[in-house]
Every structure is written in structure tokens, then in C-alpha cells.
Structure 1
Amino acid sequence: MKHTYLACAFFVLLFSGCETTQQIINNLPTTTTGQPNSLQIASGLREALTIGTQNTANRLSAPDGFFANAMLKILMPPEAQKVESTLRNVGLGGVVDKAVLAMNRGAEEAAKSAAPIFINAIRQMSITDAIGILRGGDFAATNYFKQKTTAALTTAFSPVINNALKKVDATKYWADVFTVYNRFSKTPVNTDLTAYVTERAINGIFYEVGLEEQKIRKDPAARVTDLLKTVFGSPLAQNRY
């Protein structure tokens, strides 16, 4: 029980008070008539992904973008659930709730920096990348973003989240208390709270990007321009090419 009481003390302290023309020509298709050409595919993908990622960033960076979303809300780490339960049982549920709110507010603030990072990845997308994404299955674009933007998102998110948590001394007390807690517990808690919240925030961003990708792939009503209708309504996009 010693480590549980230490954790309880922590929470009280914490919350009480473009490619060249030649490249484009080389990539133009010479197959079935009526299919979008390579340049159209690349332009359509860039347009779709720009819309989708901006929608995602705007939605998640709004107040309660994470906190009020049951799928994305950042909760205490699974390893700390015993501590959380103990706190609630002794009447300190409000303390836990404040901790959860602080983590989600940090994620919402960090999400404001996501759109420029995604736009940069979209601008660097080659025609080969675009064709691969179009033909690559339901989450090909999302997986592309994970590969191209995770490092940049982590770099951008970490200081924002860290600053949000430091306002209430969260990172200090988390590290101090749970370093001791881990000496007694068989299930250690990550002592880097900023890393934990950053990882969860980025996972939430990619989850929402995946939903936007599904919308544009499967819902004709989401294809709001002629170019999107041409590209995503083609057999190529339906994996029938």
C-alpha cells in the first residue's frame, strides 16, 4: 500500500491548489481510356488529403476536441489504474478528473501544429506515392502519414504538451512519485508523462485522419470537387484496375 499512498500524495500536490514536367510526362498512363492520368491522381490525392488533415486538425484543436471525444480522450495510463481506483475510493475523484483534463487540454493545444506538418508531407508526395496510396487499400494514406510525419509531430507536440503539464507541475510530481512507485510495483508506470500524452495525442490524430480517409474513399458525397469525383470514382480507386 505504500506506493499507493505515495501516488495519492502526488495527485493531491499536483492538482489541489512539385515534380518536373519531364517526370510528369514520364508517369502519364498509356492504359485504359477514361482512367484519370497520373497528374490527376497526384493532384486529387493532394487535394483530398489537404482537406482531410485540415478538418482533423481543426476538430481536435478545438476546446474538448480530445476531452469530449470518447474514442480519443486521454485517460490515466493502464498501469496507473489501480492508483486511480484507490484515489476515487478515498474521495479524491476530483483530483483524478483534473489530471485527465490537463492531459487532454495539452493534446488539444498541440493539435494546432499538426496541419502544417501534414501539408508539408503532402507537398513532398511524389506521383508514385500518390498512385500507391490510391491503390493501396483503405488506410494507405494514413499509413503514409504515419511514416512521414510521426517524428515531426512528436517534435512539435512534445514541448507544447510539456508546457501545458508544467503549468500545474504535473511532469515534476509524476516523475518524482512514480519513480518511487515503480520500486514497489510489479507493473511500472511510465515516468515520462509528456511522452505518454504525446504518444496518445498523435495516435488520436492518426485515428481521425483514418476516418477522414474512409469518408473520401467510401462516401461519394464527401468528394466535393470534380477532381475528387474523377479520381476517387475511378476503378483504380476501387481496386478494380
Structure 2
Amino acid sequence: MTWLDTGMKRREAMAAMLAGLAGGTATAVWPEAARAAGLGGTLTGLLGRASDSTLDRLAQPGAFYDDPDIRIGLPLIGGLGGGLGGGLGGVLGKVLDTGDKLGLTGNLVRRLNDAAGIAAGEAKPIFRAAISRLTLADVPGIASQDDGATQYLRRSAGDELHGKLRPLIDSGLAQVGAYGQLDSLSRRSGVLRRAGITHDKLGDSVTGQALDGIFRYIGNEEGKLRANPLKPAEGLLKGLIGGD
């Protein structure tokens, strides 16, 4: 066997290893394709760990409510979305949030956040399933951004994740008594009825806001994992991006 044959064998073995990281086959893999396959597999594994870590954190009691950046609020009036934003919907949300803290609304806002935490604790399989199907075709762009894989997951699977998270949110809202409390408040005051806050609208709004918070945390976690050179997978990531 010549030195050329030995070099080719070595390159073929490396191509097979990198392709295996991405769950693919090693047949007819060119060096650049092998590099992309290896990087794709590394990013998928990194994103899976970031997702697991995020959902574990957000499943802790009070995690959503205690962080003002991801705290979930009531939907806005007039179908303008969720959260404690501006306009009349924002005013209503702030009034109810204040009433919540004073115990006047049965802690409805707190219950919404508790329901999101319950859903987060059960959401690992649906996030892992979505991540496992990522092709990460745009590898260079994804690899160059601290939260590139997270952004790609949201673009490619955001709607699917919303649909699969919604039943978990509905179950959580029922479990913490949020739907029952909404009905009770609606009977006592016409404000919520006039605002059009139904079970369906509340569930959809909480799901969207919960996803916003989850993706925010996953992106932050992805950045931390990329910045840690002691992690073997991230070391491979740096090697695949930076050189041979």
C-alpha cells in the first residue's frame, strides 16, 4: 500500500466518523460534505443539550413568573397578542397583574406562569423530536451565530412546536385552575368578557408566550455551551469551523 492509499483510507475513515455524527451514511462522502455532516451533528447535539437544560430550568416552580423578561401575562384586548404590552390591553393586563399580587384575582397571572412551567417539564420529547429532524442545511450561517441553531429551530419547527405544546399548556392551565378562575372572574365582571378572553384565546396566548421564553432561554444556553472550550463537542465545533 502506497502513502497515497494510506492517506485516502484515513480521509475515508474521517468522513465516515463525521457522517455518523449527523446520523447519516458514510458512502460517497466528499471532504466538505463530511465536514458539514459532522458540524450538523455537533450542532444538533448542542441544541438538544441546550433544550434539555432550558426545560429543566423553566420547569422549576416560579421560573416563568420570577423572570420579568419571560413572565407570561394575559392576552391583550382586541386580539392584539399576549403579554403586558401597551394600549388598552396593556392597561388591563397591568390592572389584573396588580390585582393578582393583592390577591384580588385569585392569582390568575401567577397561575398562567405555573401552567407554562408544568408544560415545560413535559416538553422535552417534543423538542427533542423536532431537533432530531433538523437538516441544518445552512450550516455556515448557523455555526457563525451564538444562537444560530436556536434561530434555525424556531424558523423550521416553531409552528409545529406551538401545536404540540398547546395541549400541554391547556392541561397545565386546567391543572392549576386558571380556566376555572377565568370563568369566575368573567362572571363577576364584564371586563374580561368584553375583552374577548376565552379559554381558546388564553391557551393560545400562553402557549405563544411560553415558547418565546423557552426559545430565549435555549438561545442563551446555546451561547454558553459554544463558549465553553472544555466541552468535547464544542471543541469539535470549533475545529470544524476553523480548520482541518
TM-score by length of 1: 0.69
Where relative contact order (Cα < 8 A, 6+ residues apart) is larger, the structure is 1
| CA contact 2:100–2:107 (8 Å) conserved in 1 | no
Change (3 A) 1:175 1:29: farther
1:46-65 alignment runs, 5 A limit:
46-65=44-63
Which residue in the other structure is 1:155 paired with? Answer: 163
Change (3 A) 1:131 1:19: farther
Which string of whole-angstrom CA distances, capped at 9 and with x for unpartnered residues, describes residues 130-189 of structure 1? Answer: 444214x3332121111233223222322232233333414545777456424xxxxxx6
Which residue in the other structure is 1:121 paired with? Answer: 130
- The question of 1:103 aligning with 2:123 is answered no
Which residue in the other structure is 1:202 paired with? Answer: 211
Which string of whole-angstrom CA distances, capped at 9 and with x for unpartnered residues, describes residues 188-224 of structure 1? Answer: x65411111111101000100110122133x235x52
1:60-209 alignment runs, 5 A limit:
60-76=58-74, 77-78=83-84, 79-83=88-92, 93-96=102-105, 98-126=107-135, 128-135=137-144, 137-166=145-174, 167-168=177-178, 169-170=180-181, 172=183, 177-178=190-191, 180-182=193-195, 191=198, 192-209=201-218
Distance 2:186 2:46 in 1: 42
| CA contact 2:65–2:114 (8 Å) conserved in 1 | yes
Distance 2:100 2:221 in 1: 41
Change (3 A) 1:85 1:131: closer
Q: CA deviation at 1:86?
A: 5.2
Which string of whole-angstrom CA distances, capped at 9 and with x for unpartnered residues, describes residues 28-70 of structure 1? Answer: 329xxxxx92333123212211211110111111212212223
Q: CA deviation at 1:112?
A: 2.2
| CA contact 2:62–2:114 (8 Å) conserved in 1 | yes
What is the RMSD of the two structures over their aligned residues, measured on CA atoms?
A: 3.4
Aligned length: 204
Q: Helix, strand or coil: the match of 1:94?
A: coil
Distance 2:98 2:210 in 1: 28
Change (3 A) 1:159 1:88: closer
Which residue in the other structure is 2:236 paired with? Answer: 230
Distance 2:131 2:100 in 1: 49
What letter matches 1:224 in structure 2?
A: K
Identical counterparts, % of pairs: 23
Change (3 A) 1:53 1:89: closer
- The question of 1:22 aligning with 2:31 is answered no
Change (3 A) 1:96 1:64: same
Distance 1:97 1:170 in 2: 7
TM-score by length of 2: 0.68
What letter matches 1:229 in structure 2?
A: G
Give ranges in structure 1 of 5+ residues lacking alignment. 1-17, 31-35, 183-188
| CA contact 1:113–1:156 (8 Å) conserved in 2 | no
